Amino acid sequence: MVFSPSSGYPTHRPRRLRSHPRLRDLVREQRLTVDDLIYPMFVYHGKNVRREIASMPGQYQYSLDRLGDAVAEIAELGIPSVLLFGIPEHKDATGSAASHDSGIVQDAIRLIKKQSPELHVITDVCFCEYTDHGHCGPLTDRSGRLDVDNDATLPLLAEQSVSHAQAGADMIAPSGMMDGMVQAIRAGLDGAGFTHIPILAYAAKFASAYYGPFREAAESAPSFGDRRSYQMDPANGDEALREVALDLAEGADLVMVKPALAYLDIVRRVKDSFGVPVAAYNVSGEYAMVKAAAAKGWIDERRIVLETLTGFKRAGADMILTYHAPDVARWLRNG
């Protein structure tokens, strides 16, 4: 604050710009809109399933016959895009159900495209929901230690991506953090005639405890060990920039930082360094914390969520993947 030597009062008064609500609207730098939102959904095998996820109140696993109504509501709310996760009936060592032409996600894509063609459909491409061991690709023995076989996973990722594109997916989002995954998927899509399908790479994905509730939702918890040999160490920021640079060099069209809350410095650095579209994933544990505190009456859920998501935009996110999307769409519509 600058003080006028003659009067002793401040001459620079930022409060002037806060003096009228309409003026506050005029000088507001960021605006969260429904167009920023991507809604993640869990598609479950079987019939007549609409099961609430215990650690994610308000979020459900849907079987195909119950998915249509849920998706219609998302479209009606004006949410532009959904991200699909599939939970198949049969899991095996290589996650072979992931690439079946009539697999759970493939069928879900066709259903959504037929029923709500205005929705943009993104598919998460990984194997942890499809493998019986819950890791993000087939395993190999590395001197007595089982680890995901990076290079054996690459052609499988390409195959899964092509099968999603054939079913009608609009965008592919590989989340397994395998080295070379974007290049392999780009080559696979291009070879199958899907040169126009963009790749949203989970480029800086950290090995995070915030994924806990998701693993209940997707039934994808690893049966042994953890994901630290492929997901990033939460302590590493420079490495996140190297990961993003690699994914862009391999052909990623958009990049994601995940989780969001504890990694907003990464969002900002990625945006400033590369100037590409950046997505922030407001993950399951972030959602669960807000819902739990709100259920206790300890926080104002609406204000907390809008403040948080606006903070993601201020940090540089162009789009936000969030389980709060339907609530946010309603709040923004109704004021």
By CB under 6 A, residue 150 contacts ligand PBG: no
Residues 166-195 that bind ligand PBG (CB under 6 A): 175-176
By CB under 5 A, residue 136 contacts Zn ion: yes
Catalytic member of 205, 271, 291, 313: 205
For residue 125, list its beta bridge partners. Answer: 174
Identify the residue among 59, 96, 284, 322 touching ligand PBG (CB under 6 A): 284
By CB under 5 A, residue 128 contacts Zn ion: yes
Catalytic member of 91, 113, 114, 258: 258
How far apart are the C-alpha atoms of 335 and 330, rounded to whole Å?
8
By CB under 5 A, residue 126 contacts Zn ion: yes
Give, as one character, the DSSP assignment of residue 323: T
Binding mask 105-124 for ligand PBG (x = CB under 6 A): -------------------x
Q: Is 258 a catalytic residue?
A: yes
How far apart are the C-alpha atoms of 107 and 197, rounded to whole Å?
19
Identify the residue among 32, 71, 136, 156 touching ligand PBG (CB under 6 A): 136
- 3-state DSSP percent of the chain in helix, strand and coil, to 5: 45, 20, 35
How far apart are the C-alpha atoms of 153 and 148, rounded to whole Å?
8
Partner from Zn ion, ligand PBG, none binding residue 95, C-beta < 5-8 Å depending on class? none
Question: What is the smallest separation between the CB atom of 193 and ligand PBG, expressed in angstroms?
Answer: 27
Residue 5 in 3-state DSSP? Answer: coil
Residue 299 in 3-state DSSP? Answer: coil
Question: What is the smallest separation between the CB atom of 109 and ligand PBG, expressed in angstroms?
Answer: 17
By CB under 6 A, residue 94 contacts ligand PBG: no
By CB under 5 A, residue 248 contacts Zn ion: no
By CB under 6 A, residue 60 contacts ligand PBG: no
Give, as one character, the DSSP assignment of residue 92: B
Q: Are 318 and 277 in contact (CB under 8 A)?
A: yes
By CB under 6 A, residue 243 contacts ligand PBG: no
Looking at 27-35, 109-117, 208-216, 308-316, which segment touches ligand PBG (CB under 6 A)?
Answer: 208-216
Half-sphere exposure of 280 (CA within 13 A, CB side): 27
Largest CA distance in the chain: 80
Q: Is 205 a catalytic residue?
A: yes
How far apart are the C-alpha atoms of 222 and 139, rounded to whole Å?
12
Question: What is the smallest separation between the CB atom of 98 and ligand PBG, expressed in angstroms?
Answer: 12
Beta strands in 80-170 (DSSP E): 81-87, 120-125, 139-142, 145-148
Beta strands in 240-333 (DSSP E): 254-258, 278-282, 319-322
Q: Which is nearer to ligand PBG, 194 or 202 (CB)?
A: 202
Give, as one character, the DSSP assignment of residue 192: T
How far apart are the C-alpha atoms of 77 and 8, rounded to whole Å?
54
Q: Measure the CA angle with vertex 80, ends 210 and 248; round to 5°.
A: 60
Partner from ligand PBG, Zn ion, none binding residue 124, C-beta < 5-8 Å depending on class? ligand PBG
Question: What is the smallest separation between the CB atom of 128 and ligand PBG, expressed in angstroms?
Answer: 5
Question: What is the smallest separation between the CB atom of 17 and ligand PBG, expressed in angstroms?
Answer: 37
Active site residues: 205, 258
Residues forming the site for ligand PBG (CB under 6 A): 124, 126, 128, 136, 175-176, 211, 214-215, 227, 283-284
**Residue numbers of the site for Zn ion (CB under 5 A)?**
126, 128, 136, 176
